[in-house]
Structures are given as C-alpha cells and as structure tokens.
Chains A and B, each alone.
Chain A
Amino acid sequence: MLTALSRQFTAEVLKARKRSLFFGTLGLLLFFAILPLPIAIAGAADASIRDWARDIVTFPGCLWNTLKLTHLVLPMLITVVAAGAVGGEYSGGTWKMTLPRTTSRASPLLAKFLATLVLTLGTLAFTFAFAAAMGAVGSLILGFPFVAGPLGLGAGDLGRMVAYFVLEFSCIISLAMLASVATRSLIGGAVLGYVSQHLLRALTFLPGGWLSPMTNLESLQARWLAQSSYRIADVEAAMGRAMSWQASTATVVVFTVGCGLVAIWLFEKRDLASE
C-alpha cells in the first residue's frame, strides 16, 4: 500500500511539473512576490514614499506584504489546482486508463491529496523566498539594511504559521476533491469547491455555525498568522462562543478528514461514466 502510494505520489509530481495549471498558479504568486522590487525603485525615485517603501521592502515587511496579497487568491488557486488533479482526470478521460490497474481507488485519491498539499506548500515557500530575495535587492536600491533590527519572530511563530497553512490548504484541497468527485469534472470541482468555502463561511451565522471549518480557520489565523486581517474577538463574536485553538484545530481536522473519507467512499461507489 505504501509503495503504491509513493509511486502514485511520484506520478502526481511528474504530471504537475509539466501542467500549465500549476505553473500559472506559481506565476501569479510570483507576481505578488516581485512587488518589493518596483516599490523600491519607486521609493528611490520619490522621497515622499521612501519610508512606506522601506516598510514593504525590508524584512519581514516584504514577507507580510506578500502574505497579505497572496492570501487574497490562495483559496481560489488551491481549489483550482486540487480540482485539476482530480477533476482533470475525469475531464481528460484518464481515470479509465489507470483505475483498472489500481488495487484500490482510495490510494490514487490520497496520493493526489498529498501531492497537491506538498506542491502548494512548496509553491508558497518558494514565493516567500522569492519575495525575500526581491526585498533584499530592493533594500540595496533604497540603501537600507535588509534586516534593520530584532525580528520578534521565533521558531514557535514560524511553526504556527506552517501549521496554519497545512491546515488551511488541507481543508481546501479536501473540499475541492470532494466537489470534483461529486461533479466528476474539473470545472464543476473548481466552482463547487470554491463556492462551498463561502457557503461554509456563511454558516457561521446560523445555529451551530461555530462548527464551520472556515470560521475556525479564521480563528486560527487570528491566533497564528502574523499580520492577520482577523481579530480573535471579532471571530469569536461571529461564532457566538469562545473557541480554544485546540477546539478550532480539531474542528478543521475532523472536517478535512470527513470530506476526504466521503470523497473516497463516493469514488469507490460510483461508476466511472463515459467521458
């Protein structure tokens, strides 16, 4: 089982390396990451925006700026990449080529989940590294030290950030995969997957809405992600109750695993229709 999973993971990486969908996502994220450079050039040319430019170009400002911008589009991009991995096999008709040879239908789906998670996290890490490099070049242009003083950013902070992204990406990927299996298409999976995120967020305002995974992710974001646009008090007010980080984490994990299990069950149970 593990050997098969490892091979299927390799197959997903092989496909992603040549897939324009994946490179389009990376390109869009890098567009945000390159911004410190033109801002530094503008700051060097116009003294009135020099201080504003310094905050964005130096470390860790360059990372926070990139984080804020990328986070606007990340849920949608991850949904599209995840739907592409599963729904693309339906739309392209390639499931019929591989499924007769697999010992289990759960295994390729799990491999796709893991590969999408690793690749999207890797893409985000690369984006941050690229943003830092652009910030360093921008700092040189502006004539400021790249790291001006103590960062106030420990290993614990970084660990919580990584944990947050793992949870958020897992939840979104799981939801998009379920949507793709349910609709048996790439476009259906992407649209339903993305719309579902917002519907789940809207559930917050209904009785029992504190169970919404999206709102719990926002609660975790407020706690764990530096420069988050959410405040714990606001999120808890929307939920109507205080949620510990443990409770929010458990809610998100249960939802993610639940989505994955339903997707696997549906994938096993349903006929592979003609494309």
Chain B
Amino acid sequence: MDYAIRTEGLTKRYGALAAVNNLSLEVPTGSVFGFLGPNGAGKTTTIRMLLGLIRPTSGAASVLGVDVLRERPRLSTLVGAIVEVPAFYPYLDAAENLRAMALGAGQALAAGESDRLLELVGLSKHGKRPVKQYSLGMKQRLGLAAALLGDPPVLFLDEPTNGLDPDGAREIRDLIGSLRSEGRTVFLSSHLLQEVERICTDVAIVQNGELRTQGNVAKLLASSGIELRVSSVARAAGLLGLPPAESHTSEAGWLLTEGTDSAVPGLLRKLLQADVDVFEVRPKRNSLEQLFFEATAAARGGTHP
C-alpha cells in the first residue's frame, strides 16, 4: 500500500513527560485518516511534529516521502493545516488574511484564488469583514480556506468542526469528502467519534501519547453477527439454539446471533415457521465508540463506561 504519511517510533518528550511515545503511524494515500484520542493524548503534538513546527525527541516521520526533519523546505508545498484554533490577523478581512498568509509563506496567490476559497468554505458573503468580528465557526471555515492555499495534497485538520453548528459541521464534512475525492489525503484529528466514523476511511486511536490501535475503519468495524428484532426473544433464542437470552440481547427486543448475510434467509424461515414474528434484521456492526473505549480501557483500569 502507498502511504502519504508515515511515522516510525516518533517520540516527543518534555523532561520526564512523554507527550508522544514511540508512535508508528501509516496513513494511506488518498484516505481520510481519523486521529482519535482523549484530551492530552498527544494528537496536536503529533500534528505539530508532522508539520515541522516542533522537533521530535526521537523517531522519524515523512509526508509523501519527504523527511519532515531533514527536508523541511520540501514540505512547504505539500501540506496545509489547521492546528488547534486557527489564528489570523484580526484587523484584516478574510481575503486579506488569505493573501497575507500566502505571501507571508513566500507563495504566490493567483488572482481570484482567495474568492474561490472563500466561496468553497461558505464565507464569500463575509469576505470583506475584519476577522476580529468572526465567530469561532467562521474562523474554522477561514482556517480551512487557509489550509487549502496552494492546493496542497495533504491536509492536517485539527478538530475542524470545533465551534460549528450542526449544519456547518455537515458542510465541512461534505467538503472533506470532496477533498478526498479530489485525491487529497486528509489527516483529521478529533475527539468526536461519530464525526470520525462518518467521514474517515482509516483511523488510529492514541492515548497518553501511545498508539492503541489503527487500521481501516470498515475492517475494524466489520460485521460481527446478525441482529433481529423479534416478538419473543426467549423463544427465538431457543429456536436458534442460543444460550439464555440475556447474553445474546444487544438491546431490548433485539437478538444477536452469529453469522453473515447468507445466513439470514435460513434464520427467518426458522423463526417465521415457528410463529415468531421478525420485525427487523440488521448486520451487527461494532461502533467506533465501542472500539475507542475498548482500545483505551487498559489505561483507565479496564473500565468500560
């Protein structure tokens, strides 16, 4: 597989504290990679290292094959980023901010490019207002526009929907989806599990600076059984030869059994012939929330909230 971002044993220590410890990530090219972890897990520190803003204590990292530590100048045209809360020059308007940021980085800004980006993030109506009048959500949108300056192939987005209302958050998710379809790799740090589950193709979970798990979202959350909503859970369990119902009830009125899609017709036939009504059938999927809590349970003393 082709990886856009790779880290090997990436470590950042502040004295005795390891903010990031021996982190080895593989981010497939063209993926939307969810980087999950509780507050203080080392997500932002990792992004800062990948952007060359801070130096790792040890380990290596590369973006599109460019060594972040040794070839930082080459990194400049490959990445765009929102790190923590995006910051701007408050006395300039949105278009001027984009211009100042492009020029400040030594890059040219084509005519009409700032208008295009502001249109893309839904800020075209507010482009002439000083940024000091912007809400947090508007700053997030402008941050995304700034990240897209120069059309970089890799985007690092740190909590990009922070401060956005549900409509705004959905727009940004749609935009991230369209960025991916253009072939970009998006490295998305978030603590919003549902958001990551909706838009990410791959995910890594970190805790206390250490990697807990990583992989393809579809594989990690793959079907692990069939759930049936039936008129009598106890009778259905008996008919299907399942042990006492409690251990197979995913939620009230639902019965969980092993098997894949191909087993569904046989199960239905057996239950309906025995006059057990079946109202709904669905594949059992692990949720990202469940995966997250399982992955981070050890550090919390094995407890599952």
Residues of A at the B interface (CB closer than 8 Å) are: 3-5, 7-8, 10-12, 14-15, 18-20, 92-94, 96-104, 107-108, 271-275
Contact = CB atoms under 8 A, between A and B. Distances in A.
Contact of A92 (B89, B105, B146): B89
A93 B85 contact: yes
B104 A104 contact: no
Interface of chain A, main secondary structure? helix
Interface of B: 44, 48, 51-55, 73, 75-77, 79-81, 83-92, 96, 99-108, 143, 146, 149-150
Nearest to B55: A271
Contacts of A18: 89, 91-92, 96
A98 B44 contact: no
Interface of chain B, main secondary structure? loop
Contacts of B54: 271-273
Contact of B87 (A12, A14, A94, A271): A94
Given A93-B85, A100-B81, A15 B73 contact: no
Contact of B76 (A12, A20, A100): A100
A14 B102 CA distance: 12
B44 A274 contact: yes
Contact of B53 (A19, A99, A103): A99
Nearest to B107: A101
Given A97-B86, A272-B53, A7 B106 contact: yes
B87 A275 contact: yes
Contacts, number: 112
A92 B87 contact: yes
A7 B146 contact: no
Given A18-B91, A18-B96, A102-B106, A274 B101 contact: no
Nearest to A112: B104
A11 B92 CA distance: 12
Q: Which 9 A-B pairs have the closest CB atoms?
A: A4-B106, A93-B87, A101-B105, A11-B103, A271-B54, A103-B73, A11-B104, A100-B51, A272-B53
A103 B87 contact: no
A274 B73 contact: no
Contact of B149 (A4, A11, A99, A101): A101
Given A96-B48, A98-B105, 9 more contacts: A7-B106, A92-B88, A96-B87, A97-B101, A99-B51, A100-B52, A101-B76, A101-B149, A103-B76
Contacts of B107: 4, 7, 101
Given A100-B79, A102-B76, A272-B54, A108 B91 contact: no
16 contacts: A8-B104, A8-B105, A14-B100, A97-B81, A97-B86, A97-B88, A98-B104, A98-B105, A99-B53, A100-B51, A100-B79, A101-B80, A102-B105, A104-B73, A108-B104, A271-B48
A104 B105 CA distance: 9
A10 B53 CA distance: 24
B146 A97 contact: yes
Nearest to A3: B106
B103 A8 contact: yes
B106 A14 contact: no
